[in-house]
Amino acid sequence: MQVVSVLAAAGPSMAEQAPTPPVPPPSPQGRGRGRGRGEQIPQRVTKEQVVAALAILGLTYTDAQLDMALPGVNRALFTYEQLRLIDVPLDTAPSISFSPILPGFQLPKGPARYNPPKAGAIFRFKQPEELAFLSAVELGAMVKAKRITSEALTKMYLERLKTYSPKLNCVITLTEDLALEQAKLADQAIRRGRRTGPLHGVPYGAKDLFDTKGILTTWGAEPYSKRVPDSDATVIEKLRGAGAVLVAKLSMGALAQGGQWFGGMTKTPWNYEMTSSGSSAGSGSATSAGLVGFAVGTETLGSIVSPSTRCGVAGVRPTFGRVSRNGAMALSWTMDKIGPICRSVADCAEVLRAIAGPDGKDLTVVNAPLSWDARKPLKSLKVGYLAAEFERANEKTKPVLDAALDALRKAGVKLEPIQLPDFPLNAIRFVLDAEAATAFDDLTRTSGGLDQLSGQTPGDWPNQFRMSRLIPAVEYIRAQRARTIYMQKFQELMGQWDAFVSPTGSQSLTATNLTGHPQVVVPCGFVDGLPQGLLFTGRLYEEGTAMRLALAYEQATEWHKLRPVLQAS
């Protein structure tokens, strides 16, 4: 019942008052729920406590109703204490799952259509260092043409990581031995004519929430700073299968929040006084600084879009259920998504192609074709833009955004004004807080567990986890039902458009993280020396359309070609 869900969470917890659960009260015969009348049990929860809990829920009971409920509240407390004694490993998902697919929605059918942009000319160079800012696709082409070995590329990026990452604070663990081993294998395969694809031999970095066998995977958080998994995440396995070379585990905000980890704050290479944002902080920073060929990150509520924007790189947050999260730290089982952070849209498409698809372990993943046609006529696309959000931009940002829309129009994109469905999204955002608190409930209950985290402001996880223990189960489920209503409204909108455009500070970021729709971000200019981003939203499982529009903008501008001035350690 509602009352108990709040009381059980109140601190100090009842579990702390009674570390050893009492013997359960006898279950009366003939009542399937074991909630009979009349049995004598310890009244550890008082009527006053129930009244206080009801205030949080916005409910008032009469004295008679309270007297009737109180024995059941105390009986239920025992079951909660028993539940807390069950060992639930951190990688255990709930027995319920989320799907962005609504009744009547038709998944894309048929084989994946893949038509990448025309390959550029092979780059001429004197020193490997000159290749640092090439796109991953260009690097892969260089390896394929045997203009450089994967081993030479890997050594170059390892040296750059050692030279520049300390100032940026974007690396948690260099995977040097593994990288050199993988690079040698990639070169051997090339010599034998066994290239596995465009990413073959290309060094990359992974956000430090992807498990790597025998290598630290810390989640950026003090309590897990010595954590070493015994298997690889599915994304790591798939990238190894694609021939990519893992050179670093990149920093992330502690437990996937912001840019602050146990080693300090990760910086954007465009301004060493500013955070790179988060939580895929190191993935954005290292990619922008040319310390890796590409990176992979995760997003629950902005953690790919935000650091990509702050660091001036491209990012794709795919449809929920496109990429397996097996072996990745869970924050929110109904909102977590994995995607690429790269120096070009074409790179993002190749990385997404490599990591997408079911693995039989994350059962939310759908076997839908991933199509990408970089040459699709733009005039065939019906594209909207969130006109009110562009108009509301401040006096510094508005000229940048207006120029971005003009560039799209000149590229051949016809833009029509649209607006998002009216809905109080902030009223249901707390589903993330509830799930995150559940994921780390054992840490919250561990004496001093949350105190180990360096972030201790009201907006940091320790306080958020504690507050979230007071979220009633009934309210959480009501929010998920309201989420379904908004998904229906959003689906009606997307039924009218192939994609739409918005600023990166758009309300669409919250909306689509709740509905599961994909978004693509690319740099579109600077304000006060910091990169700005343009956001493209596509239909479910149609990332290729959003990427096509993002590519059109990228090809019409030069922002993705600008490079930050780096500071050596």
Residues involved in catalysis:
207, 279, 303
Q: Which sign, positive or negative, has the C-alpha torsion 230, 234, 237, 239?
A: negative
Residue 415 three-state SS: strand
Written as six digits, the tokens of 122 are: 């092979």
CA distances from 2 to 11, 91, 151 (A): 17, 27, 60
In the block, tokens 């069950």 appear at 86
Q: Which residues pair with 215 in a beta bridge?
A: 212
Interacting residues of 20 by C-beta distance below 8 A, sequence separation 6+:
none
CA distance linking residue 144 with residue 77, whole number of Å: 64
Give residue 87's Cα distance to chain centre: 26
Interacting residues of 366 by C-beta distance below 8 A, sequence separation 6+:
101, 107, 321, 322, 358, 541
Give residue 569's Cα distance to chain centre: 30
By the 10 Å C-beta count (0-12 exposed, 13-18 middle, 19+ buried), 11 is classed as exposed
**CB distance 359 to 234 below 8 Å:** yes
Strand 203-207 to 245-250 pairing: parallel
CA distances from 370 to 176, 224, 283, 466, 553 (A): 33, 35, 23, 40, 21
DSSP structural state of residue 534: E
Cα angle, residue 97 at apex, residues 461 and 471 outer, rounded to 5°: 40
Query: What are the φ and ψ backbone dihedral angles of 485, each rounded to 5 degrees?
Result: -60, -45
Written as six digits, the tokens of 235 are: 């994304």
CA distance linking residue 54 with residue 15, whole number of Å: 20
In the block, tokens 């902030």 appear at 426
Interacting residues of 126 by C-beta distance below 8 A, sequence separation 6+:
none
**CB distance 277 to 284 below 8 Å:** yes
Residue 504 three-state SS: coil
Helix, strand, coil percentages for the chain (3-state, nearest 5): 40, 15, 45
